[in-house]
Amino acid sequence: MLYNSVFFITIFLPIALGGWVLFNKLSYRTLAKVFVVGMSLWFYAYYNISYLWIILASIALNYGLSFLMEHLKNERHGLRKALWLTGLLGNVGMLFYFKYLNFFIDNCNFFFHSDIHIEKIALPLGISFFTFQQISFLTDRYTGDARHYAPADYAFYVTFFPQLVAGPIVRHDTFIPQVVSERSGRISADDLYRGLSLFALGLAKKVLLADYMGVLVNAEYNNIPWLDTPSAWCVICFYMMELYFDFSGYSDMSRGIGRMFGIDIPRNFNSPFKSGSVKDFWRRWHITLGGFLTKYIYIPLGGNRKGRARQCINLFIVFMVSGIWHGANWTFVVWGLMHALAAVFETAFPKARFKKAWINRVITFLYVTLSFSVFRADSLSNAAELWRKLFGFSFRGCFPGMCNTLAFPENFAIRKFLEMTAPGLVNPLYVTTFLIITFTGILAICGMQGEEWIEKKGHTRLGGFIIATLFVWSFISLSQVSVFLYFNF
């Protein structure tokens, strides 16, 4: 089920929120959690009901191991470690089977000239996110940093629909205490207003910016041989912005829904394009993934405690894991490698920076955008062809033709009028549309974060009018529903 759908906004969300508030008001706290778990499973199964057993099996495995750890906490340490390793292998094994087995077989056939054939395995929605979440919980159970929770609390933690499919990756120690607290289920008018406002801003990011940018990006990534250098650079910059508005918009909507339920979901973005280095970028982009990798991979490897050379190795490993986590394709491996090399370089040569902060920001943006052009490509050969366009210094006037993909309901009337009265002005209309979307995107990137804007301006009449206008405009545009990009990872 998609946040950016009429069914979710008008039917699913009101039922889920209404049931949560009602059962908590009647003091049926466990029933309230069970109700939301049921709604969350419906939310998940709405996409493909055949995948429902996967998340249920994952919950059963991890909760069962936590239960055994609880009843064996006074036994030998080796037994608890065996349970943890069983859970780790089970989680990673499930992720490998559904996400990487086809990729592994294809590469075995290529490198070893074998002829192994298996049926194509579809990627279950959200498996990367809820698997990482449960690995973190089980690891903390093993180290003694987490206690065993009641079944309803644990199931609520894993399945809570605002963070189920594409994150943010929520830690049990920040989430479950909110669910079991006395305040749980007591929703204030301020919670509802802030939540609805943040949801509306996230919806606008997705529908009015990311989806419109995606029209051009999708068309031109299928048209790489015909691009020239300026149009190729426009395409990869548009994709970088599309991905940001799509994923940060999803995260804003998730946080907004969580706020409506009285639950704080962690922030996943913090002005990443203001970063002055690749390491700084990852402190601002997909923050919860970075936090997971830091706590459960980087620090156990030694972090920065064993000298700079070891720190560089640890950073390299973490960024390569990040690349592989995103998908089963060599493009993700190369993307991870590019970020790994940049992070290692910045660590090994910390003074290799320009004195002007804006220069560091521009270089970081260009490097990150180039890396994400590989991330978006279907294959390495596709990425190589795109890079030949980026650095081939060819100028064939492709830019106006590229802009012709930007035919939207908002410019329909003007477009038809010009086609009848002044056909020569149709192309300038498309170029103007491109410039308006680009300028709006830059303003949104350079402006305040959603929560900050709501805090400072959202409670004024003008702020309320802007939020209402964006919501209505986005809602009217839902006839062009598209999935979120991170559903693919």
3-state SS, residue 183: coil
Catalytic pick among 172, 286, 326, 339: 326
Residue 187: pLDDT over 90: no
| Cα separation values, 358 from 194, 229, 349, 354, 362, Å | 33, 24, 19, 9, 6
Q: Indicate the average pLDDT of the chain.
A: 91
The answer to whether the bond into 177 is cis (omega within 30° of 0) is: no
CA distance 408 to 428: 15
Residue 102: pLDDT over 80: yes
Residue 297: pLDDT over 70: yes
**First-to-last C-alpha distance (Å) of the chain:** 16
- The DSSP code sequence of 428-447 is HHHHHHHHHHHHHHHHHHHS
CA distance 260 to 19: 13
Q: Which amino acid is residue 428, in one-letter code? A: P
Tokens of 434: 């491109």
**369-387, pLDDT tens digit by residue?**
999 999 999 999 999 999 9
Give the residue with greater pLDDT, 329 vs 397. Answer: 329
pLDDT at 36: 96
The sign of the CA dihedral 128, 134, 140, 142 is negative
Q: Which amino acid is residue 195, in one-letter code? A: G
pLDDT at 400: 87
Residue 432: pLDDT over 80: yes
pLDDT at 213: 93
Residue 355: pLDDT over 90: no
Tell me the pLDDT band of 75, cut-offs 50, 70 and 90. Answer: low
pTM of this prediction exceeds 0.85? yes
**113-147, pLDDT tens digit by residue?**
788 888 888 888 889 999 999 999 999 999 888 89
Tokens of 246: 């799509």
| 326 catalytic per annotation | yes
- The DSSP code sequence of 273-341 is GG-SSHHHHHHHBSHHHHHHHIIIIITTTTTTTT-HHHHHHHHHHHHHHHHHHH-SSHHHHHHHHHHHH
Alpha-helix residue ranges (DSSP H) falling in 26-51 = 29-45
Tell me the pLDDT band of 409, cut-offs 50, 70 and 90. Answer: confident
Tokens of 396: 């064939």
With tokens 């802030």, the residue in question is 194
For residues 348 and 314, the answer to whether their CB atoms sit within 8 Å is no
CA distance 326 to 328: 7
Percent of the chain surpassing pLDDT 70: 98
**17-32, pLDDT tens digit by residue?**
999 999 999 989 999 9
For residues 312 and 194, the answer to whether their CB atoms sit within 8 Å is no
Residue 166: pLDDT over 90: no
CA distance 427 to 195: 41
Residue 182: pLDDT over 80: no
Q: 460 pairs with which residues across the strands?
A: none
Tell me the pLDDT band of 240, cut-offs 50, 70 and 90. Answer: very high
- The domain segmentation of the chain, as residue ranges, is 6-180, 192-277+353-488
Q: 269 pairs with which residues across the strands?
A: 285
